[in-house]
Structures are given as structure tokens and as C-alpha cells.
Amino acid sequence: MKRVISVIVENEHGVLARVVNMFAARGYNITSLTVAPIPNSEFSRMTIMSEGDPKIFEQIVKQLYKLIPVYKVIESDDFIQKEMAMIKFPLKEVKNNLADIDAIARCYNGKISNVNDKHVVVSVVDRPDRIDNFLKAMMAKYKNLEIVRSGVSVIER
Amino acid sequence: MKMTGARIVIESLIKENVEVVFGYPGGAIMNVYDELYKQDKFKHILAKHEQGAVHMADGYARATGKVGVAFVTSGPGLTNAVTGIATAYTDSIPLVVISGQVPTTAIGTDAFQEVDAVGVTRPITKHNFLVKDVKDLAFIIKEAFYLAKSGRPGPVHIDIPKDVTVASTKFEYPEKIELKTYKPTYKGNKRAIKRAVEAIKKAKRPVFYIGGGSVLSGASDIIREIVKFTKIPSVETLMARGVLRYDCPYLLGMVGMHGTFAANMAMNDADLIISLGARFDDRVTGKIDEFAKNADIVHIDIDPSQIGKVVETKYPIVGDVKLVLEEMMPLLFDGIDTERYKEWRDILNRYQELYPLKYKDSNEVIKPQWVIQKTGEIAPEDAIISTDVGQHQMWAAQFYPFTYPRQLITSGGLGTMGFGFPAALGAKEGMKDRVVINFTGDGSIMMNIQETLVGYKYNLPVINIILNNNYLGMVRQWQTMFYEDRLSETDLSDVQPDFVKLAESMGAVGYRVSKKEEFEEALKDALEAKRVAFIDVQVDRREDVLPMVPPNSPLKNMLVFKEDK
């Protein structure tokens, strides 16, 4: 089971290493991880997507709380989840389909962000599962793609 | 007043009422040692190896209940301290370990004696700090002591770069400390406590499962009172030996891999297990799928992550064992029918009669268990007992008559060979009026025997009783039982020192014992000697620790004595 947790931590030396080490040491998975400071505070927010059964999640949350700089662990079924993905297409693959690609990207809050003489770059922002679908569709249709995913960010409703 | 970082370290320790620091100087921590030299408020004990220093601080902390403090230098000083820190971490012992570090300007350049110290100690400390600015130093030291002893205790490591010890700032030691992100729960939830009390009153086959947290929280007195009143059968983990007196009629003994038959069957057959600061370690539960299949669990622990980690817990209570029991006691005593546990007690008593702890004594060879028992008869009742790790550790835990908590000092979680002797020295430093005896093996004692010189220099007369079977006995036992007696690298008979001469060369007194009478004489002499002593007792080479739950077997599948099968 995939789940996302949001961890509010103090901005201090080594805090990212503490969190990541805890996952590694106890054999828990990190599917994706994003970190950025929370404006006007001494805290940062880490958003971690992980996989495991509910018992493992309970332990993850407790072990996170055990780390001294962890202020709060937010687990919710009611997150707004967003992820960004960028795809780089070789121009020769797609030069006759640019209108199609742009139309599909728009369905995923995206667009063609850059074109040069070699590549076309499309970026989209959406729920991780919808990003999965979008990427699957693109990969089925086009070859030699370069794909970058940002990892998920969440906020409670 | 402006002070250098080095001076701030010393002044802060004085503010914390530190009495003794165990350590070893070196380049990066020299400024701190220079300030140490200029003061006379606390003592420094110079170990022979940084591992020894940290074990001494650990033994001091375990015996006194205070925070143990150690100084080490950067690089190899710190890496040598790692085993000591990890030992304290697994057993939740409060330590503050201060290491020197290369100057901040050199960090990350692979400088001489540089190691990523906080990276190394991160998984084996409760928390650690790299001090980058002298202005943070006093606060960090305050925080380190607070973290080490509050909540679930543990070692805290402070890494101080050399230039931070030179830089100066105004010294202000915080009186109080409050951390936004760390607020341990001490008082248990009232409703949860009530529910647990009801469950105990309704149970037919309850058992108190007493762990090391009971020692750390100082809950021994109240546990004794509750057990005496409720007459509920009780078992102790290795870390909890002495919480109940050895002769308490409701104590079934130690539980787990080398626990008593009755204690393990109590866990196996219970309908309610009340865990008091224990953590369902694999050496206690045996095969986890088969563990306590008919029991509900009441789990009292100050560390929420321990609850539900290993077993499903119906009655979780987060809090300090002592405070929770203080809330529980009046509710529990009100209308409890202790007769309802009588049948259960009778069954367990029958198990105790059928399968008591025992060994077959001999007049030809000395049995190691006999040595433990004899020591228990001769030594004062309040003697502190430390152990190393292996067969002798289990025999000591099984056969020594423990009478009070903090009496047994042993590396339970990490199982660190070489722990016993330096820990005993630290305990002796903290409890000068007590006799301190370290049970050890011919394998373990060699790992930190250099600390004999510390005992000599600082007049810490610890008695080492070496149960010498010329084997790495516990591994030998497993090889015999599970590897068709292929004794791979465990026979030490051709690599033994002359312990008497070795002792004498370092200002200690040595005895070689191969007959029972000699042991009694040697121990009595050692108790008078006021010097570090080594009693090298030649014991039955092939004695096994029994009973035994084979690894990954259910508790009920104990290997018992041949004649009991």
C-alpha cells in the first residue's frame, strides 16, 4: 500500500540525514521525497511517499516522532496531492504530433514548455496516479523519452 | 563574562554537577583538556582505550542513575568510542559523550584524524550535535544532558570542532530548557489505565513481564508492593534482574532464551501479559508467530514506538512505568480478587518444582554455576555485579541472588564482550562503598583487560571472576547443538595468558583456581585485597547453559536438562 506522510522538522544540521537514515536503518521504503523550508518559520516540510502495510506505517510515524527535530507528522487520507513531471521528446519523434501532445498535456495541467532544434519538453502538474497514466500513455506512443518526476507534495484539505 | 568554548564545556559540566569524566585526550580536544587541568570541581579518569572510557561512563550511569560523561578526541578517538555508545543506546543508558573535531575550516577536507563523527553516531545515539558556533555551545550541552536523562534515556553525542573550543563568547548556562519538538509523555492516559486495570481484574492467567524500563524509572518499590498484594506471577528480563528480590515467592525468574521453564510457560500460557518497560525482544519472545497466542497485552512504555512494534497491543499505555503504576495501584487494589489467580499460581508453582533451575554439581571439576552461587553466598548482599557477554552472563543472570535494581550491570541489548570490566570500574567509581564483582569469561576479559591499570591508578578494586572454560563458550554451545560440534575457531586452550602474571604486571592480584576450596579462599582474599583482582577459575569445559529456547523456536519448546526429558 502506498501512503504519503508529511513531516514538519526543525531546519537544522543533518535533519534530512536523520530522517532518511531512519528509513534505511529499519528497512522502510521511500518512493519519493520532497523537502523545502516553510516560509517565515524555523521549520521545513518533508513529504514522503512510502510503501508498506498499516503496521509499518504506524512504526514509521512513531519512529519519526522519536527523532528529536521532528515537530509533527501528518498522516491524512484527505491530502491534496500534486506532483510535477517533465518529459523530453526527441523532436523527430513528435514533430508531426505537437498539437496532440500539447492538447493532452493541457488535460494534466501542463503544456509544452520548451522547444529547440533537438527536443520538445512538456511539463505537467497533477495527482501522482494521474501522472502515472499520462506517462504510461506517452511511453506507449513515443520512444526515447527522458522523464523527470518531482516527487509528490501534499497539503491537508 | 567572555569564555572560550573549551572553558564553557568545563563550566557547563560543573553546572550539571558532574562528578567525574572518563576519557582520553588527543589533538582536537586538547583545549578542553587544558581547561580541565585548570579546575578541581570534578575528576577525570584516564582510560587506556576510548571504548573502555565510554563503558566506564556507562557503568557509572547504570550503578548511580546519573548521567555518565566521556571525553574523546576526533577520528579514531570517536570511532573507538562507538561500541561503547551503541552499548548504552541499546540499553537506554544516559550518557553525554563529547568528542573533539577538526576545525570547522578543515571539515570535509579529509583532514588528519577527521571522521564524519555525527554521521557515524547518528544511528546509535538518542541525538547528536555538531557545534558550529561557540554561541550555541552552552545551550547544546544543556540540551544534551536534558535529552540523555529525560523520556526514554540514551546516549547523546556532542562533536566540537577545535576552533569552536578556541572562540569565545559570553557564558550563560540556561536554567531551564523547553524544546518545541520534544515533549516526552510521563503520565499515562487515565482511561487507558482504567481499562488495563479492569483487564487485570478479569484475567485468569495474568503475568507481570518486568523489563529494564522499570529499573530506569525507579519503579522497583511500587512493583514489589503491587506484586506482593496482587500475588500475580512475575517474570523479569535480563535488564530487570533485581527489580524483585530473588526470593520473592511470585517471581518465576528470568524469561527468554535462557529463562526458567516456569517463566517461559507463564508467558506462553498467560491470558494477559502486563509489560512494564519491556520491549518484547526476540531473545524474550522466541518465535514471534507462536508467542503468547492466547494473551492480551497491556504495554506500559515511555517510548511510544515500542508499543505495537512486535506484538499486537490491546491496552497501550504511554508513560513512565512508575508514574503509571502509581495511578494504577489504588484502582487495582480496590476490589481485586487475588484468589482468582490461585489456580494459575499453582500450575506455575508445579512447573517450578518439576523444572527448577539446576545443574549437576561435581567434586572433580568446578561447575560455573557453583561459582556464581558461592559468590552470592560470600559477597555482601549489596555487591554490584557486572558481567561480560556469553555463557557466564546467562549463568550469572540465572543463579546470582539479586536483591535490588541496578545491582546487575550487563550489556543486554547489544551484547558487548569487553563491557563488564570497564563498566565495573565505572560503577565502583560511582559507588565506592560497594563491593563490585565482574563475572567474565576467558574470551570477554581479553577485550578490555588493559583497563586493569585504571583500577590500579585510581584505586578501584574490582574483582574479576573469570569462568575459564578455554572456549568461547556460548558459541561453542551453539556449535555443539546446531553445527554437529564443529568447533570453528572457538577453542582457546592454546591461546591463554597467565592471568596471575598478567594481573601482577598491572598492579592487580591474580589467583588461579582449579578446586572448590581454592575458590572460596581466593574470593575471600580478593575481598580484603583492596586491589583489582582476577580469579581465574578453571571450570567444566563442556557445561551448557540450560534451559534453552533454540533460536526461532516457540518459548514452550525449551531444551531442558537431559534427566528431565
In this complex, the residue of B122, B181, B308 whose CB is nearest that of residue A58 is B308
DSSP state letters, A12-37: -TTHHHHHHHHHHHTT---SEEEEEE
pLDDT of residue B227: 98
Instruction: Show the CA angle centred on residue B258, arms to residues B541 and B495, nearest 5°.
Output: 30
- Between helices B50-64 and B76-90, what is the axis angle to 10°? 30
pLDDT of residue B59: 98
Q: CB neighbours (10 Å) of residue B181? A: 16
- Residue closest to B234 by CA, chosen among B204, B200, B273, B284: B273
Q: Does domain A2-75 have CATH number 3.40.718.10?
A: no
- Chain A neighbors of B182, CB-CB under 8 A: 68
- For the sheet containing B272-276, what is the strand order? B251-254, B234-236, B206-210, B272-276, B296-301, B315-318
Taking CB atoms and an 8 Å limit, are B122 and A68 in contact across chains?
no
pLDDT digits (tens, 9 = 90+) for A38-47: 999 999 999 9
Helix (H) or strand (E) holding B236: strand B234-236
Taking CB atoms and an 8 Å limit, are B181 and A69 in contact across chains?
yes
> What are B268's three cell numbers?
506462553
Taking CB atoms and an 8 Å limit, are A66 and B305 in contact across chains?
yes
Taking CB atoms and an 8 Å limit, are B122 and A17 in contact across chains?
yes
**Count of CB pairs separated by less than 8 Å, A with B:** 41
Q: Are B163 and B153 in contact (CB under 8 A)?
A: no
Q: What is the DSSP letter of B1?
A: -
pLDDT digits (tens, 9 = 90+) for B404-446: 999 999 999 999 999 999 999 999 999 999 999 999 999 999 9
pLDDT at A77 over 90: no
Q: What is the mean pLDDT of residues B337-358?
A: 96
Split at pLDDT 50, 70, 90, the class of B564 is low
A70 near B CB under 8 A: yes
A46 near B CB under 8 A: no
Q: Does domain A80-156 have CATH number 1.10.645.10?
A: no
B127 near A CB under 8 A: yes
Integer CA distances (angstroms), B501 to B458, B469, B492, in order: 21, 19, 18
pLDDT of residue B441: 98
Split at pLDDT 50, 70, 90, the class of B560 is confident
pLDDT digits (tens, 9 = 90+) for B80-116: 999 999 999 999 999 999 999 999 999 999 999 999 9
Q: Is the ipTM of this complex over 0.85?
A: yes
Give B131→chain A minimum CA distance, Å. Answer: 10
pLDDT at A1 over 90: no
Taking CB atoms and an 8 Å limit, are A10 and B119 in contact across chains?
no
In this complex, the residue of B118, B130, B181 whose CB is nearest that of residue A71 is B181
Distance CA B419, CA B387 (A): 7
Q: Are A32 and A152 in contact (CB under 8 A)?
A: yes
> What are A116's three cell numbers?
529547440
pLDDT at B562 over 80: no
In this complex, the residue of B119, B303, B305 whose CB is nearest that of residue A59 is B305
The domain spans of chain A are 2-75, 80-156
> What are B70's three cell numbers?
566521556
Distance CA B342, CA B565 (A): 27
Cis peptide before B422 (omega within 30 of 0): no
Taking CB atoms and an 8 Å limit, are A68 and B118 in contact across chains?
no
- Between helices A128-141 and A98-107, what is the axis angle to 10°? 160
> Which residue on chain A is closest to B148 by alpha carbon?
A68
pLDDT at B228 over 90: yes
B118 near A CB under 8 A: yes
pLDDT digits (tens, 9 = 90+) for B298-336: 999 999 999 999 999 999 999 999 999 999 999 999 999
B104 near A CB under 8 A: no
pLDDT digits (tens, 9 = 90+) for B15-50: 999 999 999 999 999 999 999 999 999 999 999 999
- Chain A neighbors of B123, CB-CB under 8 A: 21, 25
Taking CB atoms and an 8 Å limit, are B182 and A68 in contact across chains?
yes
Give me the residue label for grid cell 569524566: B21
pLDDT digits (tens, 9 = 90+) for B435-475: 999 999 999 999 999 999 999 999 999 999 999 999 999 99
Q: What is the mean pLDDT of residues B511-533?
A: 97
pLDDT of residue B565: 59
Split at pLDDT 50, 70, 90, the class of B561 is confident
Distance CA B412, CA B238 (A): 7
> What are B358's three cell numbers?
539446576
- Chain A neighbors of B305, CB-CB under 8 A: 59, 62-63, 65-66
Across chain B, mean pLDDT equals 97
A24 near B CB under 8 A: no
**B 308-367 residues inside an 8 A Cβ radius of A:** 308-309
Distance CA B360, CA B352 (A): 17
Distance CA B8, CA B5 (A): 5
Q: Are domains A2-75 and A80-156 of this chain identical in fold?
A: yes
Distance CA B147, CA B108 (A): 28
Phi-psi region of B357 (alpha: psi -120 to 50; beta: other; left: phi over 0): beta
Residue B173: strand, helix, or coil: coil
Probe site for chain A from B181, B299, B306 (most A CB atoms < 10 A): B181
The Cβ-side half-sphere exposure at B485, using a 13 Å CA radius, reads 2
- Residue closest to B153 by CA, chosen among B210, B213, B242, B209: B213
Helices (H), strands (E): how many in chain A? Answer: 5, 8
- Between helices B30-37 and B5-15, what is the axis angle to 10°? 60
- Chain B neighbors of A71, CB-CB under 8 A: 180-181
Taking CB atoms and an 8 Å limit, are B304 and A58 in contact across chains?
no
> What are B348's three cell numbers?
506455575
Please list the active-site residues of B.
Answer: 50, 112-113, 162, 474
Taking CB atoms and an 8 Å limit, are A68 and B130 in contact across chains?
no
pLDDT digits (tens, 9 = 90+) for A20-53: 999 999 999 999 999 999 999 999 999 999 998 9
Hey, what domains does chain B have and what are their CATH numbers?
Answer: 2-170 (3.40.50.970), 190-354 (3.40.50.1220), 368-538 (3.40.50.970)
Q: Are B390 and B417 in contact (CB under 8 A)?
A: yes
